[in-house]
């Protein structure tokens, strides 16, 4: 029963699109109703399934999914000509990422009520994007995974080009082409993994049981890792993210920064590191060097920007850098921290972009020097923005603190000197984060208010609901991290076991 419900997660958005085809595009009320209902339905469904996974604990996982502790395991032959199967399943990590996606999609639908243009197509595209992200976090077959992973490029471009603001074609193209570049690197390595693996299967579980040849891993791992890292905006492939976010409509920014950028980090962990642990041990120390840009310089760039979306985009870049620091640490605590950060950053950046979108709808500018003192007029939105900022700089009580402390502890456990130095730099860079968050909040929300903002109104019930739910999620993880990290530990254990079992690599062999 639960397995069936689980498979519905990615089907419901698609069905919603089909249901909406006969609805005339002028009847926006009905369209919004259907899409909001569908979003809430998936949210409820994922919430129930997460609770189900939590209640079951480690008991009775599906055996044919070994070594991963997957539930709701489904395996149906799909494209038999190449042994491609429809394999889906979820462990704790997948479940929480799905929950995050469901919340962000739900919030994204709610904040898009006033989008200009053809709303029918816009909501359909949001649902297709949701399908893509759900699919990525569910699928355990590499081809299925890639199909869902690449699908997002299609929806993202249409949404940014059709409904964005500013230099939308430039931003959209930059984003789509950079992501497509990343996916093409992944696709090229996928063929290699299939043929070098020699088990005639694209299943992640089957492939994890073989050790890929070392010569192959040595070139395939960096290609694949960087391919995934493109969508998580790891330096030097971070450049798409600020322009892309700046021209995207609010819901797209939320989905892109909140969930889609996690797909890359998730892919690094689940596919690249899990299938090629030997090469991961060799290459990840070099990745740490790239992180210096993300973690240390990212906040400084954010400091100099005036556009709210650019500030948030660079803040995302620095937070995603921390995920990679956790991954590169190669310790259980570091991996747990990275997974926690994926989830925590999803909520907080979703909150960031949601409030920015709401403020922009009222002030029609995102330039913080043009604003000032609007806290008096829109206290609710202002507080939401400040909370997002505080969560971002890792204030205890919010999820950011839990995730970041785990990452720093995990990274410091790694004896490597360079990793330790980068860790210390990363901890120090939190100060920079604090500076730009406070500076932005100060300039935008306090001080003298320009006269034109006298007529601003605070958020309506719909907007308040979005903010309250996102803040609640941040607090929930921050105050009760135990139940979530237990499940995450369970799902990370097989990945870490595979990495620690990996034979000491022979360099230059």
Partner 1 sequence: MYSISNQLIPDLILLALPFLILIVRLCSKRTTVMPWRIANLGLIATFVMLNMIPLTNSEGAFFLSNWRVDDFGVLMREVFVLSGILGLWLAKDYFDHGADGKPALMHITEFMATLIFATFGGFIVVSACDMLTLFLGLEMATIPMYALTAWNKRDQYGSEAATKYILMGSVATAFELFGFSYLYGFAGSIHFSQIASATSAGTSPLLWIALLFIFCGIGFKLTLFPFYTWAPDVYEGAPTPVTAVLSVTSKATAIAFLVVLLYGPLAPVQDKIVPLVALLACTTLFVGNLGALKQSRLRRFMAYSSIAQAGYIMIALLGPGYISKTAIVYYLFVYTVANYLAFFVFGVIGHYRPESFNSLRGLSKQNTLLAVALAAAMFSLAGIPPLAGFFGKFHLFFSGATAGHYMVVAFAVLNNVLALYYYLQVIKSAWADEPEGELSPIRMVKRQRFVVIALLAATILLGVLPFVSNNVFTGFTF
The contact set with partner 1 (CB under 8 A) reads 25, 77-82, 117-118, 120-121, 143, 146-148, 150-151, 153-154, 157-158, 161-162, 168-169, 172-173, 176-177, 180-181, 184-185, 187-188, 191-192, 194-195
Name the residue nearer to partner 1 (CB basis): 183 or 414: 183
DSSP assignment letter at 71? E
Q: How far is the CB of 192 from partner 1 (least distance, A)?
A: 6
Q: Which residues pair with 71 in a beta bridge?
A: 90
Q: How far is the CB of 188 from partner 1 (least distance, A)?
A: 4
Name the residue nearer to partner 1 (CB basis): 188 or 472: 188
Which residue's structure tokens are 């990793």?
419
DSSP assignment letter at 63? G
Name the residue nearer to partner 1 (CB basis): 20 or 492: 20
Q: How far is the CB of 62 from partner 1 (least distance, A)?
A: 23
Element holding 267 (H helix, E strand): helix 261-267
Q: How many angstroms separate the CA atoms of 347 and 91, rounded?
A: 20
DSSP assignment letter at 270? I
Q: How many angstroms separate the CA atoms of 241 and 247, rounded?
A: 10
Name the residue nearer to partner 1 (CB basis): 263 or 323: 263
Q: How far is the CB of 418 from partner 1 (least distance, A)?
A: 31
Task: Using CA atoms of 132, 135, 141, 145 in order, give the dihedral in degrees to the nearest 10.
Answer: 20
Q: How far is the CB of 389 from partner 1 (least distance, A)?
A: 32
Name the residue nearer to partner 1 (CB basis): 148 or 221: 148
Q: How far is the CB of 143 from partner 1 (least distance, A)?
A: 8
Name the residue nearer to partner 1 (CB basis): 50 or 233: 233
Contact indicator for 376, 457 with CB cutoff of 8 Å = no
Q: How far is the CB of 255 from partner 1 (least distance, A)?
A: 18
Helix, strand, or coil here: 415? coil
Q: How far is the CB of 148 from partner 1 (least distance, A)?
A: 8
Long-range pairs for 297-306: beta carbons < 8 A, 24 or more residues apart: 298/238, 298/429, 299/429, 299/432, 299/433, 299/435, 299/436, 300/432, 302/433, 302/436, 303/432, 303/435, 303/436, 303/439, 306/367, 306/368, 306/369
Which residue's structure tokens are 């956790």?
326
Q: How many angstroms separate the CA atoms of 295 and 320, rounded?
A: 8
Element holding 182 (H helix, E strand): helix 168-197
Name the residue nearer to partner 1 (CB basis): 64 or 118: 118
Name the residue nearer to partner 1 (CB basis): 212 or 426: 212
């Amino acid at each position: 029963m639960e397995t069936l419900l689980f498979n519905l997660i990615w089907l419901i958005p698609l069905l919603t699109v089909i249901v909406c085809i006969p609805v005339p595009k002028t009847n926006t009320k009905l369209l919004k109703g259907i899409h909001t209902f569908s979003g809430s339905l998936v949210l409820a469904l994922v919430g129930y399934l997460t609770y189900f996974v939590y209640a079951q604990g480690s008991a009775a996982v599906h055996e044919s999914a070994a070594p991963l502790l997957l539930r709701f395991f489904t395996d149906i032959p799909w494209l038999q000509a190449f042994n491609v199967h429809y394999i889906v399943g979820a462990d704790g990590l997948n479940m929480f990422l799905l929950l995050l996606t469901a919340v962000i999609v739900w919030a994204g639908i709610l904040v898009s009520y006033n989008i200009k243009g053809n709303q029918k197509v816009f909501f359909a595209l949001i649902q297709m994007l949701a399908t893509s992200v759900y699919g990525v976090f569910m699928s355990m077959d590499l081809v299925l995974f890639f199909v869902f992973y690449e699908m997002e490029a299609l929806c993202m471009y249409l949404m940014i080009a059709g409904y964005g603001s500013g230099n939308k074609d430039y931003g959209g193209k930059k984003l789509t082409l950079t992501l497509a570049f990343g996916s093409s690197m992944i696709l090229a390595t996928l063929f290699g993994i299939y043929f070098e693996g020699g088990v005639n299967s694209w299943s992640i579980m089957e492939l994890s049981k073989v050790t890929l040849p070392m010569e192959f891993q040595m070139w395939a791992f960096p290609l694949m890792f960087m391919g995934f890292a493109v969508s998580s905006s790891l330096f030097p492939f971070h450049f798409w993210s600020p322009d892309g976010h700046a021209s995207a409509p609010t819901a797209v920014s939320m989905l892109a920064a909140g969930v889609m950028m996690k797909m890359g980090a998730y892919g690094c962990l689940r596919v690249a590191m899990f299938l090629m642990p030997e090469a991961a041990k060799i290459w990840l120390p070099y990745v740490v060097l790239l992180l210096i840009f993300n973690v240390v310089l990212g906040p400084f760039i954010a400091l100099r920007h005036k556009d709210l979306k650019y500030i948030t985009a660079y803040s995302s870049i620095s937070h995603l850098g921390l995920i990679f620091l956790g991954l590169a640490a190669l310790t259980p605590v570091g991996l747990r921290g990275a997974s926690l950060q994926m989830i925590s950053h999803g909520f907080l950046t979703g909150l960031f972009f949601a409030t920015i979108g709401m403020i922009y709808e009222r002030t029609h500018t995102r330039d913080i020097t043009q604003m000032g003192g609007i806290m008096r007029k829109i206290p609710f939105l202002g507080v939401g923005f400040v909370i997002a900022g505080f969560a971002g700089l890792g204030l205890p009580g919010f999820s950011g603190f839990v995730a970041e402390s785990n990452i720093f502890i995990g990274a410091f456990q790694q004896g490597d000197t360079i990793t330790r130095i980068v860790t210390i730099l990363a901890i120090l860079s939190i100060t920079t984060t604090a500076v730009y968050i406070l500076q932005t909040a100060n300039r935008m929300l306090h001080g003298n208010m320009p006269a034109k903002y006298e007529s601003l109104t605070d958020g309506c019930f719909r907007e308040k609901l979005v903010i309250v739910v996102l803040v609640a999620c941040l607090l929930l993880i921050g105050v009760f991290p135990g139940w979530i990290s237990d499940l995450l530990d369970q799902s990370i254990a097989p990945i870490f076991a595979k990495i620690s079992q990996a034979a000491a690599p022979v360099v230059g062999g």
